[in-house]
Amino acid sequence: MQSDSVKRTFVVAFFLCLFCSVLVSGAAVLLKEKQVENKKLDIKKNLLIASGLLDGSEASKEIIESKFKRVKTIVVDLETNEIVDSVDPESFEMRKNAKDPSKNISLDSSVDIAKISKISKLSKIYLISSDSGSIDKVVLPVHGKGLWSTLYGFLALDKDKKTIKGLGFYEHAETPGLGGEVDNPNWKKTWVNKVAYNESGKPTIKIVKGSVDPNAKGSESMVDGLSGATITGNGVQALVNFWLSDSGYGKVLNSLSLEGAI
Ligand SMILES: Cc1cc2nc3c(=O)[nH]c(=O)nc-3n(C[C@H](O)[C@H](O)[C@H](O)COP(=O)(O)O)c2cc1C
């Protein structure tokens, strides 16, 4: 074969492509386990940040795992509002269940303000213990639609089960600098100590346009808006209020005794 023939060019290109594709797919297979492990670690890290056990700075695997010892995971049934001891929280996958008709709940459009249509009947809840060993926070996995994506995160409540102690998302595809500002630590701080329910027990979080006027009626349940990202903000407001309502964790929270749960 001539060194500059068309045939030789195609043969070389073919083997080069084959080599590269083997290299890329080999790396993807070899790194898959590591990626899954890193994803799980990142979820734990975000849970710890939402619950105030970690600040937003870099933390090693050892620190994350050690802090996570303060977290007890339980599985609850959102229909019976009871703790389910027969399911292992470690291997239980909420997202998979939400897609399975035998394991999910279809939401009526009148209650589906987070625009997620189906939720898993069973859900994980995380109980955070204080230095003295008693439970001082409850962390709820939450999700709902923003503008471009479904945002997945954690909402931490104080032991009174109505004061917000933190909110953070570990997965979304909102625009950096706009909806992506949900990850801004300064914005996340504004959620701390907001009161999630009104006197009649209705979830009442409101993300306002601009900044909250501290003298406004109901300001204890209002959060600053995200500039240029009202749609994402509306989505976050809806998902928080949905998961705190009786269609989400509302009834479970009412019946959950934090003394008995640990
Ligand atoms: C390329 C592009 C990306 C955008 N990304 C977001 C976003 O992630 N979240 C959002 O709420 N609005 C986003 N917007 C803006 C919305 O279309 C809309 O204008 C905005 O939510 C209104 O908010 P405002 O009333 O605070 O300006 C984006 C707009 C453009 C052009």
Q: Which of 147, 172, 237 to mutate to test the pocket of ligand 1 (most atoms within 8 A of CB)?
A: 147
How high is the pLDDT of residue 204? 96
How high is the pLDDT of residue 1? 61
Atom of ligand 1 nearest to the CA of 147: 9
How high is the pLDDT of residue 262? 46
Helices (H), the chain: 6-50, 61-67, 94-99, 185-189, 230-244, 250-255
What gap in Å lies between CA 177 and CA 256, rounded to an integer? 38
What gap in Å lies between CA 248 and CA 239, rounded to an integer? 10
With a 6 Å cutoff on the Cβ, whether 230 touches ligand 1 is yes
Question: C-alpha angle with apex 187: 186 to 188, nearest 5 degrees?
Answer: 90
How high is the pLDDT of residue 118? 96
Residue spans of the domains in the chain: they are 48-255
How high is the pLDDT of residue 28? 85
Atom of ligand 1 nearest to the CA of 227: 26
With a 6 Å cutoff on the Cβ, whether 41 touches ligand 1 is no
What gap in Å lies between CA 112 and CA 89, rounded to an integer? 26
C-alpha 176 to ligand 1 mean position (Å)? 11
pLDDT (tens digit, 0 to 9) for every residue of the chain, 262 residues total?
Answer: 667 788 889 999 999 999 999 999 988 888 888 888 889 999 999 999 999 999 877 789 999 999 999 999 999 999 999 999 999 998 899 999 999 999 999 999 999 999 999 999 999 999 999 888 889 999 999 999 999 999 999 999 999 999 999 999 999 999 999 999 999 999 999 999 999 999 999 999 999 999 999 999 999 999 999 999 999 999 999 999 999 999 999 999 999 888 754 4
How high is the pLDDT of residue 55? 86
Q: Hey, which residues does 194 pair with through a beta bridge?
A: none
Spatial CA neighbour of 137 closest among 52, 218, 201? 52
